[in-house]
Structure 1
Amino acid sequence: MSHYWSQRFAREGMIWGSEPSPSAGWAKRIFLEAGAASVLVPGAGYGRNTKGFAPELSVFGIELSEPALELAREWDPGTTFIAGSALEPQLEHLVDAVYCYDVLHLFLAEDRRRLIGASLAQVRSGGLLYFTSFSDEDPHNGCGVQLEPGTYEYKPDKYAHFFSKADLEEHFAGTEILETGSFTEALQSPEGGTHEYILRSILARKK
């Protein structure tokens, strides 16, 4: 999986443009209203979403792909980027919130648990977590080879888990779930085309 993304970032650069996801703006508002001063972004990519949280929040991004990190440090010098896996704790201190955009669905079941566990380990008690992921209502759900329940290789060398509301809530069963939602997001490709995805979101608080 990391090899796939490194190749894409090296070849295509800022794959989805420079504008952050609308969900980053929603999460930022929620975090600030809760008094957060710092946020962790696991799987930060090239910094498309990290930049949207500054300057009001101190931002830390974890990213495994070196080509993505090179782009991120140039595009968003205000964020502290850490080279490493989001499946393991990387910070030396706790943050107030975690924002994780479309990373959770990229893993099989065991590693999805590891990602959530690592995120919880790096946020303070009472801190907030806002995750987005592919929805089971997305048209790609059920396409291709099924690898695990709800997980499909829907394109060659590219697989994803498609979450139902109940499935997403079950993944965060150890937290206080505050809100779930569903929305459609349109992304611009480097070639100029538009791709739409149906996503789920979850807002939770660490107990």
Structure 2
Amino acid sequence: MYDYWNQRFAQEGMIWGSDPSPTALLAMDLFRQHQSKSVLVPGAGYGRNTKVFSKEFETYGIEVTPVAIEIAAEWDPLSSFTLGSALDHRLEIQVDAIYCYDLLHLFLQEERRRLVVNCLKQLRLGGVVYFTSFSDEDPNNGCGRLMEPGTYEYKEGKFAHFFNDRELREHFAGTEILDTGSYPETLKSPEGKSHSYILRYIVARKMS
């Protein structure tokens, strides 16, 4: 997966353009309501979404691909980016909020749980998270080679897990789940091409 993304960022740059996901704006409102002052974005990519938060919050991004980090540092100089894997890299501080966009579904079950655990360890008590992932309602669910229950290699060399609501909630057992739901997402490239899919989101608060 590392090679895939590093190659894509090297060849395509800002793959999905400069506009943030609408879910980042929804998360922004949530973080304001909870009086957050700092935000962590695991899998920050080239900073498309971090730039939303860095205008108002102390924002940290963790990204595994060096090419994306280089683009992000130039695009969003107000955020602090660290090269590393969101599965195990930790900040030296705890943050008030975490926004994790379409990263969770890129891993198999064991690593998905590692990601959630590692993120929650970087969140202060009472802090909130906003995670998005592929939904089982998306048309790509069930396409391609089955790798694990709910996980398919839907494109050659690219697999994803497609979450139902119950399963997404289970990944955040031990937190107070504030909201879940589905959202139609459209990605647009700088060339004007678009791709639509269905994602799920979960909003939760760390209680222990």
Q: TM-score normalised by the shorter chain: which range applies?
A: over 0.9
- Partner residue, 1:95: 95
Give TM-score, length-normalised by structure 2: 0.98
Q: Indicate the SS of the match to 1:143.
A: coil
Aligned partners of 1:102 and 1:133 also within 8 Å: yes
Aligned partner letter, 1:72: A
- Partner residue, 1:188: 188
**Larger deviation, residues 183-192 vs 63-72:** 183-192
Q: Indicate the SS of the match to 1:39.
A: strand
Report sequence identity in percent: 63
Aligned partner letter, 1:186: T
Aligned partner letter, 2:204: A
Q: Give the CA RMSD over aligned residues.
A: 0.8
In 1, Cα distance between the equivalents of 2:190 and 2:32? 33
Size of the aligned set, in residue pairs, is 207
- Partner residue, 2:143: 143
Shift of residue 173, structure 1, vs aligned partner:
1.0
- Partner residue, 2:154: 154
Aligned partner letter, 1:11: Q
Shift of residue 122, structure 1, vs aligned partner:
0.3
Q: Which consecutive segments of 4 or more residues in structure 1 shift more than 6 A?
A: none
For residues 131-167 of structure 1, the C-alpha deviation after alignment (integer angstroms, 9 at most, x for no partner) is: 0000000000000000000000000100000000111
- Partner residue, 1:86: 86
In 2, Cα distance between the equivalents of 1:56 and 1:77? 13
Q: Indicate the SS of the match to 1:31.
A: helix
Distance 1:191 1:155, change over 3 A: farther
Give TM-score, length-normalised by structure 1: 0.98
In 1, Cα distance between the equivalents of 2:65 and 2:54? 22
Where structure 1 has 5 or more consecutive residues not aligned to the other structure, the ranges are none
Where structure 2 has 5 or more consecutive residues not aligned to the other structure, the ranges are none
